[in-house]
A and B are shown apart, each in its own frame.
Chain A
Amino acid sequence: MTTFDLLLQQTINGLSLGAMYSLLALGFTLVYGILELINFAHFNVFMVGSFIAMGTLQLFGLHGQEVILTGMPLALVLIAAFTVTMVASGALGVAIEVLSLRPLRNVKGPAAMITTIGVSYILFNVVLLNQGADAKNFPNPMPAKRFHIEGATLDLRVILIWIVALVLMVGLYLFVQRSKMGKAMRATAQDPEAARMMGVEVDKVIITAFFLGSALAGAGGMIFGLYYNFTSFIIGFTAGLRAFTAAVLGGIGNVPGAMVGGVLIGLIEAMAGQFIATAWADVIIFSILVLVLVFKPAGLFGRLAPQKS
């Protein structure tokens, strides 16, 4: 392969990773924008999402890579599995908010953030106890169809991952920009007290943010499984930290920023792995996090944090 082919190939890989990180980063950014809370439980909502997706695909009789579907059956199975995964993950996020965070709403200091770390470990251990420590073979019903562009290959499933991520991100963006609840979310992020005095019920806004963020994390978990053909109780931390970095890079609280930040982190990971060494990818990613925090604390696209009143 020529350098150009490698570059092309790693761009394709990076965009796939980036799609996943973007979906995950959106959850951090939505919740942070409204509560100024870094939700570490989000890491493992993503991980649980990949297990929900695996279970759903298995319910359709799909195990490992034995069963290959095409055409309409494939589309229906994937749509059904994404829907179930997203709704269940969203419900998990709402449960986390209602059961563990709402009681702490008026407690100042890091109590809520520490709680999200605790919830993260609970999810981690529950899955470990239930599913065991070994990596699971994630069902993949997609035909191994490949396209060749110059010297690079583009898998059918990669195209599908891009389409799903794009549809979800455009959908979220339109929801936040156009819908009544989306406007209430933005208003609450910009000035919670003023929003409340317009009649916005802030608890509903918070629940919506958790539902949407967690649903997207679930979709990200399913994409992880489809992309790597495995899942494990341990996948949340690395992906979660990278996605969190993506959210900070784009400007935490900023929805388009999280999308772009995710894609950038994905590209950096792929390029670093190719041209330097895989072991250096995280060093580079987190060095970028440190540099952003030092030189551009508001992120590349500025931050949409609430105003202090």
Chain B
Amino acid sequence: MREPMLLEFRDVNTHYGDLHVLKQVNYAIGKGEIIALLGGNACGKSTTMKTIMGVVRPTSGTVQFDGKAIERLPTAERVRRGIAPVLEARRLFPRMTVFENLEMGAYLRKRGTEFDEDLERVYDLFPRVKERRNQIAGTLSGGEQQMVAMGRALMARPRLLCMDEPSMGLSPRYVEQVFDIIQAINRQGTTIFMVEQNANMALSIAHRAYVLQTGQVVLSGTAEELRRNPLIREAYLGEMQVPAG
């Protein structure tokens, strides 16, 4: 039998009241992959993230993590099993220090050598976060906040990192840096599922990608295939060539 996928959506539907958001959605994310989820506004990307974290429950279909159904589990249990989010717009705890934000990332874990190791790892990846560790998180720049948000997620020692728009609102210099670090985190063994508006950057580091349109997966394939797809070039890549550099 083949090894189970790390995360799998099977025919998932979600609703907000009468609004049908995700429609028969299927994703399969293997261990060690970087998967990008592309799509325009209000196409269901953030709902996908919320469904993984258990903030939104599917109305039908299953969500499996490491071969086990998780769609009925509370959020805390999902975090405990190894799913950690990097939320859209960072969503740090603005009046807590950077260090306290990192602590919150490790909320379900005991303090001890593992915590210290992970803290070292985060400080190695983000020297800037170490410098700012005693600063109030809300006073950092957008790019620094994104570093803290990623560090906070890593403090959970996740097997799957779900990133919602990691490049949003960042200057091009920080976007490069963030994507480099995403690759570094992936090389250290963490699977990454990322929602991204910046298709160009996302496809440059992703192994595979899915394209969502009004709640449906309309296209999927390797990053290379999607980069060559005329539809993608027109809809997502063309407009992204302007703000280069």
Interface residues of A, Cβ cutoff 8 Å to B: 180, 183-184, 186-187, 190-191, 193-201, 304, 307, 309
Which one of B6-14, B90-98, B122-130 is at the interface? B90-98
Interface of A is mostly: helix
Q: Told that A187-B93, A190-B95, A201-B76 touch, could you supply 9 new A-B pairs with CB distance under 8 A?
A: A184-B107, A191-B93, A195-B104, A197-B79, A197-B85, A198-B105, A199-B79, A199-B80, A200-B104
Q: Would you call A190 and B94 a contact (CB within 8 A)?
A: yes
For A194, give the chain B residue with the smallest CB separation. Answer: B91
The 14 listed contacts between A and B (C-beta, < 8 Å) are A183-B96, A183-B103, A187-B93, A190-B94, A193-B55, A194-B87, A197-B53, A197-B55, A197-B75, A197-B85, A199-B79, A199-B80, A200-B76, A309-B91
Q: Would you call B93 and A186 a contact (CB within 8 A)?
A: yes
Smallest Cβ distance from B138 to chain A, in angstroms?
9
Q: Would you call B93 and A194 a contact (CB within 8 A)?
A: yes
Q: Would you call B108 and A190 a contact (CB within 8 A)?
A: no
Chain A residues within an 8 Å CB radius of B79:
197-199
Q: Would you call A186 and B96 a contact (CB within 8 A)?
A: yes
Q: Which of B76, B85, B100, B152 contacts A183 (CB 8 A)?
A: B100
Query: How many residues of chain B have a CB within 8 Å of chain A?
Result: 23
Chain B residues within an 8 Å CB radius of A309:
91
The docked-state distance in angstroms from the alpha carbon of A196 to that of B100 is 15
**B156 within 8 A of partner (CB):** yes
The docked-state distance in angstroms from the alpha carbon of A201 to that of B74 is 9
The docked-state distance in angstroms from the alpha carbon of A196 to that of B50 is 11
Chain A residues within an 8 Å CB radius of B76:
196, 199-201
Q: Would you call B104 and A187 a contact (CB within 8 A)?
A: yes
The docked-state distance in angstroms from the alpha carbon of A208 to that of B156 is 24
For B105, give the chain A residue with the smallest CB separation. Answer: A198
Q: Which of B32-86 contact A (CB under 8 A)?
A: 53, 55, 74-76, 79-80, 85
The docked-state distance in angstroms from the alpha carbon of A197 to that of B51 is 12
Q: Would you call A196 and B107 a contact (CB within 8 A)?
A: no
Smallest Cβ distance from A41 to chain B, in angstroms?
28
The docked-state distance in angstroms from the alpha carbon of A307 to that of B89 is 13
Q: Which of B177-214 contact A (CB under 8 A)?
A: none
Q: Would you call A199 and B93 a contact (CB within 8 A)?
A: no
The docked-state distance in angstroms from the alpha carbon of A198 to that of B53 is 10
For B90, give the chain A residue with the smallest CB separation. Answer: A194
Q: When A197-B55, A199-B107 are in contact, do A307 and B94 touch as well, CB less than 8 Å? A: yes
Most chain A CB atoms below 10 A, which of B75, B92, B100: B75
Chain B residues within an 8 Å CB radius of A194:
87, 91-93
Q: Which of A183, A184, A191, A201 contacts B91 (CB 8 A)?
A: A191
Smallest Cβ distance from A189 to chain B, in angstroms?
9
For B77, give the chain A residue with the smallest CB separation. Answer: A199
Chain A residues within an 8 Å CB radius of B55:
193, 196-197
